[in-house]
Amino acid sequence: MSTTTTTPTRTRRPLPQLMTLTDTAAERLTRLYEKGEQGKLLRISVKTKGCSGLSYDMSWTDEPAPSDEIVTDKGLTVLVDRKASLFLIGTVMDYETKALTSGFTFTNPNEKGRCGCGESFHV
């Protein structure tokens, strides 16, 4: 007598998108791409800096590097340095305007804490 045992196939849950943009961030980035940074791409990376150890870094580049992850959201392209991708999975990029400051902000589900001044984070 012969018996066969089958192992149920595990369904893998889909990975979250590497990064998404809010409507406000997309509008601001569109204006930047159309004006002063026309023909360039925004690259987001993570640098060692600050009290908590890591800091977001943004720079403009003419073309993707071989080590860049290309993120497309809301019709816009943003580059993410591959070394930073594990730190940024699921991050939402926003643009905020406050009384004295304005700029891009990041809501990162991987952050475990931030320093007191908010300049750096750790995972």
Note the pLDDT tens digit of each residue in 22-52.
Answer: 999 999 999 998 888 888 999 999 887 656 5
Q: Is 100 inside any structural domain?
A: yes
Q: How many domains does the chain have?
A: 1
Q: Report the CATH number at residue 74.
A: 2.60.300.12
Q: Is 70 inside any structural domain?
A: yes
Range of the domain at 90: 19-117
Q: How far is Cα 6 from Cα 20, in angstroms, rounded to an integer?
A: 39
- Cβ–Cβ contacts within 10 Å for residue 9, how many? 6
Handedness of CA 103, 123, 21, 24 (dihedral sign): negative
Give the pLDDT score at 49: 66
